[in-house]
Structures are given as structure tokens and as C-alpha cells.
A and B are shown apart, each in its own frame.
Chain A
Amino acid sequence: MIQPRFSNLPPGFRIQRETNTEEFFINMGPQHPSTHGALRLALRMDGETIVELVPHFGYIHRGMEKQAESMSYLQYIALSDRQDYLTAIQNNLGVVIALEKGMNVGVPEKGEYIRVMLQELGRIASHLVFYGCFGGDLGGQTCLLFGFKEREMIHDILEEVTGSRLTTNFFRPGGSRYDVPDTFIPRVKAFLDHLEDAMRDYERFLSKNIIVLERSIGIGVLSKEDAIAYGCSGPVLRASGVEFDVRRANPYSIYDQFDFDIPVFHNGDCYDRYKIRIAEIHESMKILRQCIDKFPKDGPWRSKEKPVRLPVGRYYSEIETAKGLYATYVVAATTGEKPYRIHTRGPSFPHIAALNKMVQGHKVSDLVTIMATLDPVIPEIDR
């Protein structure tokens, strides 16, 4: 027996077939290969052209911010790994900086270098995943594997340093959990030399490919005004022509000591969002090379260990993860080990909100391309 169509949908999404029989409704996700996780996109389509897109969140909502209220500050650092798992090590830093502001502790120079290096390694890892997913979503399965191949090498380094590959849980107020091993600097150096060659290959693989150009130039254009209005950040914002990078605008850690560029592109289409991430990988490599040169051989890697107790107050930190602006807002109502409230501002949520603006008038295939270039991580949206 055939069930009546569309009867179980919320009223806002029921298709009025009488008014326009050309349009129909399609559900993309929550189980769909290119929504990058459990995201549901409700699409109103005219043939293959998208008329309207409504994202539905919350399929993997875990109530992290609520959980944080019954946790100690240190436990929340581990929880921040589980938000954007591609930039876990960067999220750690975001939380830790907010806590440091509260505890009023500093970090020794070596500790800062460790932080910056792991930050940039994490950024490269995340952008490599983007490279893979972008190629994979365009239909080139080989790119997917290529991107992940180098990312595995970064994870090997992270495993050696932090003890785990994905959910690092590494930084602590005043420094980090461990000192880096002696092999760390040579390994990063070898990896950078390898990545230099690999990136040349990868760019040759996609950047000039005529099909990639056809499919990404002029697709999913996000204007400068819209990008700001929707609260986009990171590569998505910079691809639309806004030169905003927290590392430069509001430097944290020791980012003000390095010489690097903030790549900015102006078209705001998928190709620019792709190119900007490739450019950022090169910038990160530049920072890493400077770190290797200046890395202090000895000296303390963390300040004296103190119990993590924050005085009453509100503490805010913002950092630039690979995806964009990652901000943590800690409210301590009582002096103690537990927060009253922790709020996280993740970069992917506003990007998905802007998706409807970008896909209108494009085809389903373009939606996949646009989704890939926004590079969302669903657990970070849902938290």
C-alpha cells in the first residue's frame, strides 16, 4: 500500500502541490554521503534546481554546554575535542586560553611554541581533509584518499606528542600536559619537506582541472555583505573579500611574532574557498618553518601547576581554528572548579545558516560542492 506523501512533515515544509506542481520536496540526509555527518537538509526543488533549502540540526546534539555545568573546567577541555573533531587540538587551545585569563597564568616560551606548532599542524590536517572531501564530493574518490594520506602523517606526529590521534585533550592552563619528545622537531621538518612536494602534486591534480574549474567558479557566491551579515568567519569569510583573521586582528599566543600572510580572495565562490585553503596550508607551513628555526631547545614548557579554580567573573577567548572563529565564553558564578555556564561559538553553524542564500538557483550537484567548500563538521554545529 502506498502511504500518502508528505503527510508526516512539519506544516512549514509541506509542498502546496496545487500552487506549483513543478516543485517537489526532497530530503537530503540525515543519512546522506555528502552532508558530512548527520545533517538533514530539506530541499524544495524545481526539477534539479534548488528553490529553497532548510537545514535541520540536532541529530547528534549531546548537550555539551549543559554537560559542562556539571563538570570541572579540566573535564570540559576533553569535551571540546568532541566538538569539531577535525580541529580538536585547536579547540583545546580556545578553552584553555579562556581559563588562563581567569586563572591569570602565563605560558613559558617553549610552551607557546608547542602550542603554535600544534595549532598549525591541526590547521593543515583540517585543510587536508577539506581537500579530500572537496575532491571526493566532486566525484574524484582519489582526492579523498590523497588528502587523508598526509593527514595521517600529522596524526602520527600528534599521537607521538599527545598520546592520541584525534581527540587530543592536550593543552592545560599554563602550558600542556607533556613536553614534546626530542623527535618532534625533526619529524615536523621531514613532514613539511614531504608536504611541500605533495601539495605541488595535489594542486596539479585539482587546481587547474577543467572540470573542477567549471564546477566551482561562479558557484555558491557569497557576497561580502552577506558573509558578514551571516557571521561567517575563517576561510569562508576571507574568500568573500573580508580580511579578518583572529591571529592578526586579535593575536593570541605568540602569533604576533611570526611573519605570515592572510590570504584573501574576492569572488566568494567555491573555487575561491578552495584556493584560500590551499593558500592557508602554505602559510601554515611558513609559520611552522619559522617555529622550527626559533624553537627553544630548553627551558620550561609549562608554568607551575596550579589547581584550575576560576574566580567569579566572565572570561572570553577567541581563536582562529581551521574552520573560522572559535570562541569560548566562561561564566564563573562562584569561585571553584565548576563553571556556571560555558558557551561555545563554533564557526560551522553560521556557515550552514548561509547555505540557503548560496544554493538558490543552483543544482543539487552544486549544493554538494558548496557544502564541501563550507567544510562543516556536524558535531560542532550540534554540540
Chain B
Amino acid sequence: MFPNLNLPGLQLPDLPLAFPMGGMDIAFYVVAAVMLFTAICTVAVKNILQSAVFLIFSFVATAILYLLLHAEFIALAQVMVYVGGVVIFVVFTILLTSHLGEDAFATKIPRVFAAFALSIAFVLVMVKCILPTPELASGAVSSPENYSGLEPIAMRLLGYGPDGFIIPFEVVSILLLMTLICAITVARKSKDEVEKEKAVQQ
């Protein structure tokens, strides 16, 4: 471990922050900085597609944060769902709806000051609420061995017992099925259209 940097004049006895405690801490601050930077870029960049890309990197940074907390499956699920799924579809939608080489979808940032004021207020509230928590002291929170591994999560997710989540899991799957069917219904061509297409082809 790193020696604790207790330099005179740099002591922060009132804050429950210990800096830097070890590799994990350095990693956390680096990742957090990347995450913040990409998050800011996401809202500040004028081009929607670029902001979607920054959003992806922000999500990836979040996933790395989960990894640092030894929640490997959550991290992978984050990448799988957000990077592999959601944002790809966002990018797809942008590509499909926009015209090539146009600035049409460049966004303007209206009311910059109001937005800044709101976000600063939000940050202040968060800091006020979170900072007093004593467990904020750095270092990975120790959890039971393999608590967040694939197998325990699966066991809990599909378990019947008091700590099982089988019913919510199935409800969610029905919801997803409904979404799928809805999507197909929306995307399906009506009969007239199909016939028209056939007529064109012949």
C-alpha cells in the first residue's frame, strides 16, 4: 500500500476523505474524472452523434467503476445493455433520421445560464446529502465472497425463496415480450402496402 501522505498543511481531518489510499483510489479518481469529462461532453457537444459516442464512453467508465467495486456482472451488464444495446440503437436512429452531411441535427444549447444554475444546485444538494456519510471513506467495500458473481446473482434472480426475485423477473420478461410484439405490430406493413409492393415488383 502507499504510505499515507500525511504532509503538514494538507491534512483534511474534517472530511472523511483519505487521499490517496492505494491503486484503487487512483483508479477511482481517474475513472471518475473520465466519466465526468465525457458526461459533460455529452451535453456540451453540438453534434448529436458525437454526444451519443461520449455517452457510450461515459457508460463504459461507469462500468469500470462497477468493476472497481468488484461487481463484475453488473459492469458487464452495463456494457452489454447500454453500449451494445441502447446507445447503438440511439446511433442507429440518428443515422436513419438525419440527412448525410447536414448540420440539421446540431443542437443549440438554450438558456445556458439556467442549465448551469440548475446543475450546480443539483451538485450542491448531492454533496450536502452524501458527504456526511461515514462509509464514504475510500477503499473497496468488502462484500461476501463471490456475492456479485454470476452464479449467486442467477440463484437469487431465479430463486423462489424469500430473497428470490423470480416473480419480478418474470413480470419484466412479459413486459419485454409485450414490447417486442408492439414493435412488430408497429413496424409491420399493412396489407395494402404489401400488395402495392408486390404490384410494383411485377
Q: Indicate whether A and B interact.
A: yes
Majority-rule SS of A interface residues = loop
A5 and B101 contact, CB distance less than 8 A: yes
Which residues of B lie under 8 Å from residue A221 when comparing CB positions? 201-202
Task: Give the residues from 351 to 376 in chain A that come closer than 8 angstroms, CB to CB, to chain B.
Answer: 360-362
Identify the 4 closest CB pairs spanning chains A and B, nearest first.
A361-B200, A361-B201, A2-B101, A360-B200
B201 and A362 contact, CB distance less than 8 A: yes
Name 11 A/B residue pairs within 8 A (Cβ), A-sorted. Answer: A2-B101, A5-B99, A5-B100, A5-B101, A5-B102, A218-B201, A221-B201, A360-B200, A361-B197, A361-B200, A362-B201
Give Cα A362–Cα B200 distance, bound, in whole angstroms.
9
Using a Cβ–Cβ cut-off of 8 Å, how many residues does chain A contribute to the interface with B? 9
Interface core residue of A17, A218, A361, A362 (most chain B CB under 10 Å): A361
Query: Interface residue tally of chain B, by bracket?
Result: under 10
Contact of B103 among A2, A218, A361, A362 (CB under 8 A): A2
Which residues of A lie under 8 Å from residue B201 when comparing CB positions? 218, 221, 361-362
Give Cα A323–Cα B201 distance, bound, in whole angstroms.
26
A2 and B102 contact, CB distance less than 8 A: yes
Give Cα A22–Cα B16 distance, bound, in whole angstroms.
58
Instruction: Using A218-B201, A361-B200 as known contacts, list a sample of 15 further A-B pairs with CB atoms less than 8 Å apart, ordered by residue number in A.
Output: A2-B101, A2-B102, A2-B103, A5-B99, A5-B100, A5-B101, A5-B102, A17-B99, A24-B99, A221-B201, A221-B202, A360-B200, A361-B197, A361-B201, A362-B201
Task: Give the residues from 199 to 239 in chain A that come closer than 8 angstroms, CB to CB, to chain B.
Answer: 218, 221
Give Cα A186–Cα B102 distance, bound, in whole angstroms.
65
B73-105: contact bitstring with A at CB < 8 Å (1 yes, 0 no)? Answer: 000000000000000000000000001111100
| A258 CB → nearest B CB, Å | 38
Give Cα A239–Cα B201 distance, bound, in whole angstroms.
18
| B165 CB → nearest A CB, Å | 42
B172-199: contact bitstring with A at CB < 8 Å (1 yes, 0 no)? Answer: 0000000000000000000000000100
B196's nearest neighbour on chain A, judged by CB, is: A361
| B35 CB → nearest A CB, Å | 32
Give Cα A362–Cα B201 distance, bound, in whole angstroms.
7
Which residues of A lie under 8 Å from residue B100 when comparing CB positions? 5
| B40 CB → nearest A CB, Å | 26
Give Cα A164–Cα B103 distance, bound, in whole angstroms.
56
Which residues of B lie under 8 Å from residue A5 when comparing CB positions? 99-102
A21's nearest neighbour on chain B, judged by CB, is: B99
Give Cα A2–Cα B201 distance, bound, in whole angstroms.
37
| B74 CB → nearest A CB, Å | 38
A3's nearest neighbour on chain B, judged by CB, is: B101
Give Cα A221–Cα B200 distance, bound, in whole angstroms.
11
Give Cα A17–Cα B102 distance, bound, in whole angstroms.
13
| B194 CB → nearest A CB, Å | 12
Task: Give the residues from 1 to 56 in chain A that come closer than 8 angstroms, CB to CB, to chain B.
Answer: 2, 5, 17, 24
A2's nearest neighbour on chain B, judged by CB, is: B101
| A274 CB → nearest B CB, Å | 19
